[in-house]
Every structure is written in structure tokens, then in C-alpha cells.
């Protein structure tokens, strides 16, 4: 088994460290070709948006690769870098598994209702339209494609705990407006289990058990830090950036039943366990 991670950012790095700990050979790309701190993997530069730096990976990058994870999002023009550059070479590599990290944004707004993998996509934002296009390109290719639709990713170094420590969190109160999330290690676990038992053409929602209002998450994180949560502020889209306001235009509950049936249980079924694990990991790293 040899895994190529195209776009080794936050999730890709967590996966790479996990795979390396299992003794799996790992090859990665980043835009600058610089290997993330502490990782012992061969690293190549791939930056679709910097044509002068755009290098189509040399043959040695692909040699012996059996599994490929694509973690690169479509660019601001809506072009998916991997679909645009690599589908033919990936098809000729005779992979056992190809995974694409997509987003639950492809479901659009369900006004808080549950959605699952059989729910038709209904993208509303331009970004989500681009995601549907990328998913379609990979599913229609000859690759052994697995699509993983992700909600908000959190984990060590990227959670409400860090945000609260900055003192800049606004606790927006919009009763009934829920969002979903997933701990990065549950993405890693799901990807690993899928790599062991390929089911080409599969789509999986990778979300935890408990969609919740952001305010509840903030209160829990503040409790764990032993600080008072910021005051609740009534929802007012006119007081937000366009990006933040667009975030509040959609609400859905994303079912994870399929991954739990086919790919195993979650390490962190809700944000409560996930946030506690982050604090424990932080404490262990300073001990
Ligand atoms: N974060 C979330 O809450 C969330 C939610 C749903 C879906 N997703 C999607 O899930 C995937 C993983 O998320 P993440 O937060 O782990 O991603 P991330 O940390 O932003 O990593 C993305 C990776 O893609 C590379 N990349 C970005 N644009 C590129 C381009 N134009 N050409 C070549 N490489 C490019 C980055 O290169 P560098 O390493 O050089 O930066 C990085 O390695 C992404 O596709 C993300 O959009 C994220």
C-alpha cells in the first residue's frame, strides 16, 4: 500500500501522520512543495493557480501508488485542480482506491431537516455548485472513486477552544438553526476503513451524531476552558461579513448512518467528546 495525498493541509496531514504510524508509505503535495513540520514523507509541489510553479508531478511521485486522497478544493474560478490535471494519469495508475474530500454544502439548505446520501444534491452557493461538478467528474471517470462529504472540520489546533482563547468569538443566537461538524480524527478513521474495503462509486457523509446550534458549542467550549461564554447576540445578517452571512443561509442535519453501518463507529460522536479529546491532546503535548 502506498498513499498519495494531493493537498496535504490540515486533514491531509493528520491522515499522513496516521498512515506513517501504521508503516504505510506516503507521498504528498503542497503548493510550495514544503513538507509539513515533523512529517517524514516525500513531498512534491503542485499549485494549480500559479502556472509558473505548476509542475505536473514527476513519474517517481506516482510510482507504486495504490491509493490517492484528493483534498484540494476547487479554485476561485470553480476549476477543480485534480480533475483538470490528473484524471488521465490517475486512471492509468490502476489505483485500488481514490478518495475525494467534498462538502455537505452540496445538499444546500434543508431548513434543519435530515439529509442522507440518497438525498438529491441541491447546491445553492457557487462554491457548492463547483463541488458538485468536481464530484461528478470523479464519479464519471474510470477511477475507483469514493466521495466523502464533510461538514465543518475541527480538531487539535482548529477548534472553538482556540477561537475562544483569542477573545474574538461572537455567540450568535438563532434558535433552531443547526450546523454539523466532524472531528478530524474521525475523518482519518473513516478514510482508513474505506481504504481497507474499497466500494468504488460510494458516497459517504462524514458527520458526527449531533447537529447543534453554534451557541451550544461555544458554551460547552467555554465551560471546558473554565471561562464565561461570550454574551448571546441576536442573529442579524446585516452586522456580518458576506461570508459569515452566507454561512447562516443554510441549515441541515446530516445523517451519518451509512458510515456507521459500513465503515465503523466514531471516536467522537459529539462535540463534547471531541473538545475534551483536544484538551487532553494539548495537555499531553506540553507534559
Ligand atoms: N475546513 C472545513 O471545515 C471543511 C468543510 C468541508 C469540506 N472541506 C474540504 O475538505 C478538504 C480538506 O479540508 P482541510 O480544511 O483539511 O483543507 P486545507 O487545510 O485547506 O488543505 C487544502 C490543501 O489543498 C492545497 N491546495 C489548495 N488550493 C490549491 C491549488 N489551487 N492547487 C494545489 N493545491 C491546493 C493546500 O496546499 P497548501 O498545503 O500549500 O496550503 C492544502 O494542502 C478541502 O477540500 C476543503 O475545502 C473543508
The CATH number assigned to the domain holding 72 equals: 3.40.50.720
Q: Find the domain containing 46 and state its range.
A: 2-158+182-208+252-268
The phi and psi torsions of 264 (rounded to 5 degrees) equal: 100, 175
Residue 7 CA, closest ligand 1 atom number: 43
Average pLDDT, the chain: 96
Q: How far is CA 37 from CA 13, 79, 101, 183, in A?
A: 10, 29, 23, 21
Residue 152 CA, closest ligand 1 atom number: 3
Evaluate if residue 53 carries a pLDDT over 80: no
Of 235, 237, 234, 231, give the one whose Cα is nearest residue 219: 231
Rounded CA-CA distance 245/237 in Å is 5
pLDDT at 56: 76
Domain assignment present for residue 221? The answer is no
| Cα angle for residues 253, 120, 248 (degrees, 5° grid) | 40
pTM assigned to the model: 0.97
Domain assignment present for residue 239? The answer is no
Domain assignment present for residue 163? The answer is no
What digits encode the pLDDT tens for the residues 16-38? Answer: 999 999 999 999 999 999 999 88
Of 182, 146, 197, give the one whose Cα is nearest residue 268: 182
- Residue 120 exposed, middle or buried by CB count within 10 Å (0-12, 13-18, 19+): exposed
What digits encode the pLDDT tens for the residues 166-209? Answer: 999 999 999 999 999 999 999 999 999 999 999 999 999 999 99
Q: How far is the CA of 148 from the centre of ligand 1 (A)?
A: 14
Cell for 143?
477511477
Domain assignment present for residue 285? The answer is no
Pocket test for ligand 1, best of 34, 49, 72 (most atoms within 8 A of CB): 72
Evaluate if residue 54 carries a pLDDT over 80: no
Domain assignment present for residue 218? The answer is no
Cβ proximity of 269 and 209 under 8 Å: yes
Least reliable range by pLDDT among 39-53, 100-114, 144-158, 269-283: 39-53
pLDDT at 287: 75
Q: How many CB atoms lie within 10 A of CB 52?
A: 6
Evaluate if residue 116 carries a pLDDT over 70: yes
Nearest 10 degrees: Cα torsion 156, 18, 185, 157: 10
pLDDT at 286: 83
Cβ proximity of 57 and 46 under 8 Å: yes
From the centroid of its chain, how far is CA 10? 8
Percent of the chain at pLDDT > 70 equals 100
Euclidean distance between the first and the last CA atom of the chain, given in angstroms as a whole number: 34
Pocket test for ligand 1, best of 46, 55, 71 (most atoms within 8 A of CB): 71
Contacts of 201 (CB under 8 A, 6+ apart): 139, 145
What digits encode the pLDDT tens for the residues 80-110? Answer: 999 999 999 999 999 999 999 999 999 999 9
H, E, C per residue of 101-147: EEEHHHHCCCCCCEECCCCCCCCCCHHHHHHHHHHHHHHHCCCCEEE
Pocket test for ligand 1, best of 4, 8, 9 (most atoms within 8 A of CB): 9
Evaluate if residue 279 carries a pLDDT over 80: yes
Q: Which pLDDT band holds residue 14 (cuts at 50, 70, 90)?
A: very high
Q: How far is the CA of 10 from the centre of ligand 1 (A)?
A: 7
- Tally of domains within the chain: 1
Q: Which pLDDT band holds residue 51 (cuts at 50, 70, 90)?
A: confident
Residue 8 CA, closest ligand 1 atom number: 43
Nearest residue (CA) to ligand 1, atom 47? 73
Domain assignment present for residue 278? The answer is no
Nearest residue (CA) to ligand 1, atom 21? 9
Rounded CA-CA distance 226/276 in Å is 13
Domain assignment present for residue 105? The answer is yes
Domain assignment present for residue 215? The answer is no
Helices and strands in the chain: count of H runs, count of E runs: 10, 13
Residue 72 CA, closest ligand 1 atom number: 24
Amino acid at each position: 500500500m502506498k498513499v498519495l495525498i494531493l493537498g496535504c493541509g490540515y486533514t491531509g496531514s493528520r491522515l499522513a501522520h496516521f498512515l506513517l504510524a501504521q508503516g504505510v508509505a506516503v507521498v504528498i503535495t503542497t503548493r510550495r512543495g514544503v513538507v509539513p513540520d515533523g512529517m517524514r514523507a516525500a513531498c512534491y509541489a503542485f499549485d494549480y493557480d500559479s502556472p509558473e510553479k505548476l509542475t505536473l508531478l514527476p513519474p517517481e511521485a506516482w510510482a507504486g501508488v495504490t491509493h490517492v486522497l484528493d483534498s484540494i478544493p476547487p479554485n476561485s474560478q470553480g476549476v477543480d485542480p485534480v480533475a483538470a490535471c490528473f484524471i488521465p494519469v490517475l486512471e492509468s495508475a490502476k489505483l485500488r482506491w481514490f478518495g475525494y474530500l467534498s462538502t455537505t454544502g452540496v445538499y444546500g439548505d434543508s431548513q434543519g431537516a435530515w439529509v442522507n446520501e440518497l438525498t438529491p444534491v441541491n447546491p445553492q452557493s457557487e462554491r457548492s455548485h463547483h463541488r458538485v461538478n468536481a464530484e461528478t467528474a470523479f464519479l464519471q471517470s474510470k477511477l475507483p472513486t469514493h466521495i466523502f462529504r464533510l461538514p465543518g472540520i475541527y480538531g487539535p489546533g482548529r477548534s472553538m477552544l482556540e477561537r475562544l482563547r483569542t477573545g474574538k468569538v461572537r455567540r450568535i443566537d438563532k434558535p433552531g438553526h443547526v450546523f454539523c461538524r466532524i472531528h478530524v480524527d474521525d475523518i482519518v478513521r473513516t478514510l482508513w476503513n474505506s481504504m481497507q474495503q474499497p466500494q468504488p462509486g460510494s458516497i459517504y457523509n462524514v458527520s458526527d451524531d449531533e447537529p447543534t446550534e453554534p451557541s451550544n458549542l461555544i458554551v460547552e467550549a467555554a465551560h471546558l476552558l473554565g471561562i464565561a461564554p461570550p454574551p448571546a447576540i441576536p442573529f442579524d445578517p446585516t452586522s456580518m461579513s458576506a461570508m459569515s452571512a452566507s454561512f447562516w443561509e443554510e441549515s441541515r442535519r446530516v445523517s451519518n448512518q451509512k458510515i456507521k453501518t459500513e465503515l465503523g463507529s466514531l471516536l467522537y460522536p459529539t462535540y463534547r467528546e471531541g473538545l475534551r479529546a483536544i484538551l487532553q491532546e494539548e495537555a499531553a503535548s506540553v507534559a
